[in-house]
Chain A
Amino acid sequence: MNFNSGDTAWILVASAMVLLMTPGLAFFYGGMVRGKNVLGMLAQNFVVMGIVSVLWITGVYSLAFSGTGKFIGDFHQFGLNHIWQQATGFEALTIPPLVFCAFQLMFAIITPALITGASADRLKFGAWALFTGIWLVLVYAPVAHWVFSPSGWLFQLGAEDFAGGTVVHANAGAAALALILVIGKRRGWPKERMRPHNVPFVLLGAGLLWFGWFGFNAGSALSANTLSAFAFVNTNTAAGAALLGWIVVERLRDGHATTLGAASGAVAGLVAITPACGFVSPMGAIAIGFIAGVVCCFAVGLKNKFGFDDALDVVGVHLVGGVLGALLIGFFGTKMTNGANGLFYGGGWTLMGKQAVAVGAVVAYSFIATYIIAKVLDLLIGLRVTEEQEVAGLDLSQHAETAYETASFNDGSRFSITSSGN
């Protein structure tokens, strides 16, 4: 095999950058929860790094990328056997298969980690760890195979997903919705408002995510060339446009542009450009980013309307943003960058149709499979902490630790903060 050391070096670096996104996400989420649950949030994210790292090498990589099945891989590369062989359909890659495996591992880590934002403050730590492992095998592996593997049915259909808008974001978002419907609301929600305890953490996390996302998206070119440069520039452009879109809505609707809004907008833009970054022009990225910023800013209000306690807006940002980005490729996709032409470039509705099928299939499968997994686990071992543990906070009840000397004024306790509508 003919490896290119430039490509290989870039994908190794990109892999490390994508890994950093998960601690970044942990801080992004950790700042938004109450002071008594911040370690619980960090722990749920870190344990995913442990579980997925081991399972991926053991067999999940093989299930996702080996073999010629339309719906799932095989056991050919179980335990990284035959890892000197490229994954099926990736024979032209100029990086060693083991580098590809490492890069894809980081995606498999952050995807279940994204779910923790929705179910924040109320999951048993052990139950979450078990859920992560089962979900990785039963949901992530098949969905990654459908979309990313050239033998997968959605890949063969011609649906475009450059870096995981469907596999990572729509998938995690749909799973998050299913999980919270099984476990129910946090005690006191929505009457008792649960204020973010450390907005600077949120901004720090968003910054780490934005940085790591260059590895995520530009790395998905699996080479260091013009295509990865397009993905890089589109990623940054969309994040910027979405940040602006979100805070403009806030300024006009609520009177103030907020720091939390700026961070949320940037992440919404990064989510939406993820599937599109290697298929659209930078001008298209401005449009996709701005639309995502505005739409997601409104979408985070849906939970109040429909009464599902998506604590940190995983549905509003990742499901809505991921679906939006995947569908907008149908409008903004252009051969000038890569892939097929969308509606605005004379490609008609063909690409949009394929995108819609991919989005529909991934969201439906992820939602249904996750709902079943969560329901069964809840019946067998119970997913939620007890009321007493929930009131005490996950830090103390799940980990016998506390993050701060005094968290009493930070925890959004019922006597200090009340709701005044929305």
Chain B
Amino acid sequence: MKLITAIIKPFKLDDVKNALQAFGITGMTVSEASGFGRQRGHTEVYRGAEYTVDLVPKVRLEVLVDSAEAEKVIDVIVKAATTGSIGDGKVWSTPVDNVVRVRTGERGTDAI
């Protein structure tokens, strides 16, 4: 099993969510995040003084998948999240030892 984590532009969340649902993914966790990559931050101006804001708002999306599906799911996310401009984000996967569905006690891939 894998945990796919994606950091994406907030306005792309709906596109990514819809694409994942269309692919057959049944659950995900979404949280608001902030940070920066090569994009760095943006500039704001208050009473003529420029402020560089390093941490820009992003959405962090997490999905648990069967290892066999991981690459496909990553492709789905990347395709839906792309705008082509700087700051589109990143997607990565990490191995997961075990998963338990709390209600039923199911374990492993059954719990996904």
User: With an 8 A cutoff between CB atoms, is A193 at the interface?
Assistant: yes
Among A256, A261, A415, A419, which residue has its beta carbon within 8 angstroms of that of B51?
A419
A193 to B51, Cβ gap below 8 A? Answer: yes
Whether A420 contacts B34 by the Cβ 8 Å rule is: no
**A422-B46 contact, Cβ under 8 Å, with A409-B34, A409-B55:** no
Cα-based distance from A415 to B52 in the complex (angstroms): 11
A422 & B49 in contact (Cβ 8 Å cutoff): yes
Nearest-neighbour CB distance to chain A for B111, whole angstroms, equals: 32
Asked if A416 is at the interface (CB within 8 A of a chain B CB), the reply is yes
Closest residue of chain A to B36 (Cβ to Cβ) is A416
Contact A254 to B48, CB < 8 A, known contacts A409-B34, A420-B43: yes
Given A416-B55, A419-B52, A420-B52: A195 in contact with B47 (beta carbons within 8 A)? no
The answer on a CB contact under 8 Å between B52 and A258 is no
- List residues 15-49 of chain B with CB under 8 A from any CB of chain A: 34, 43-49
Is B52 in contact with A418, judged by CB distance below 8 angstroms?
Answer: yes
Residues of B within 8 A of A235 (CB): none
Q: For A261, what are the chain B residues with a Cβ–Cβ distance below 8 Å?
A: 47
Min CB gap B75→A, angstroms: 32
Q: Taking the complex as formed, is A300 at the interface, i.e. its CB lies under 8 A from any CB of chain B? A: yes
Whether A304 contacts B49 by the Cβ 8 Å rule is yes
Residues of B close to A420: CB separation below 8 A: 43, 50-52
CA distance A264 to B46 in the complex (A): 10
B53 contacts the other chain (CB 8 A): yes
Interface check B106, CB cutoff 8 A: no
Question: Which chain A residues (265-290) contact chain B, with CB distance < 8 Å?
Answer: none
A6 in the interface (beta carbon within 8 A): no
B71 part of interface (Cβ distance < 8 Å): no
Interface size on A, residues (CB 8 A): 26
The chain A residue sitting closest to B55, CB to CB, is A416
The docked-state distance in angstroms from the alpha carbon of A253 to that of B48 is 8
Task: Determine whether the beta carbon of A195 is less than 8 Å from that of B48.
Answer: no
Interface string of A406-422 (1 = CB under 8 A from B): 00010000011111111
Tell me whether A250 and B48 are in contact (CB under 8 A). Answer: yes
In Å, the complex CA distance between A195 and B46 comes to 8
- Closest B residue, CB atoms, query A418: B52
Is B54 in the interface zone, CB < 8 Å from A? yes
Chain B, Cβ-Cβ closest to A412: B51
**What's the count of A-B pairs with C-beta under 8 Å?**
51
A258 to B48, CA, bound (A): 9
CA distance A253 to B34 in the complex (A): 30
Cβ B51 vs Cβ A300 within 8 A: no
Q: How far is the CA of A339 from the CA of B49 in the complex (A)?
A: 40
- Shortest distance between the CB of A254 and any CB in chain B (Å): 5
Tell me the smallest distance from the CB of A391 to a CB of chain B, in Å.
19
Does A184 have its Cβ within 8 Å of any Cβ on chain B? no
Residue contact A418 to B54, C-beta cutoff 8 Å = yes
Give the residue name and chain of the A residue nearest to B45 (CB): A254
Instruction: Give the contacting residue for A256; candidates B45, B47, B52; CB below 8 A.
Output: B45
Judging by beta carbons under 8 Å apart, are B45 and A195 in contact? no
Q: B47 to A260, Cβ gap below 8 A? A: yes
CA gap between A196 and B44 in the complex, in Å: 11
A258 to B52, CA, bound (A): 16
Judge if A297 is at the interface, Cβ distance under 8 Å: yes
**A195: chain B residues within 8 A (beta carbon):** 44, 46, 51, 53
Once the chains are docked, how many angstroms separate the CA of A417 from the CA of B47?
Answer: 16
Residues from chain B with a CB closer than 8 A to the CB of A304 are 49
The verdict on A301 contacting chain B, using a C-beta distance below 8 Å, is: yes
A196 cross-chain contacts in B, Cβ below 8 A: 46
Nearest residue (CB) in A for B43 is A420
CB distance from A201 to the nearest CB of B (A): 14
Which residues 100-138 of A have a CB within 8 angstroms of B? none
The answer, yes or no, to whether A161 is at the interface (CB within 8 Å) is no
A58 to B88, CA, bound (A): 65
Q: Tell me, in angstroms, the Cα distance from A417 to B48 when the chains sit together.
A: 16
What chain B residues lie within 8 Å of A421 (beta carbons)? 50
Taking a contact as CB atoms under 8 Å apart, the answer to whether A297 and B48 are in contact is yes
Instruction: Decide if A258 touches B46 in the complex (CB within 8 Å).
Output: yes
Assess the B53–A416 pair: CB atoms within 8 A: yes
Q: Which B residues are in CB contact (< 8 Å) with A254?
A: 45, 48
Binding site for A on B (CB under 8 A): 34, 43-55
Instruction: Apart from A416-B54, A421-B50, A422-B49, list 17 A-B contacts with CB within 8 A.
Output: A193-B49, A195-B44, A195-B51, A195-B53, A250-B48, A254-B45, A255-B45, A258-B45, A300-B47, A301-B48, A301-B49, A409-B55, A417-B53, A417-B54, A420-B43, A420-B50, A420-B52
The 14 listed contacts between A and B (C-beta, < 8 Å) are A193-B49, A195-B51, A196-B46, A253-B48, A254-B48, A256-B45, A258-B45, A313-B47, A417-B54, A418-B52, A418-B54, A420-B51, A422-B48, A422-B50
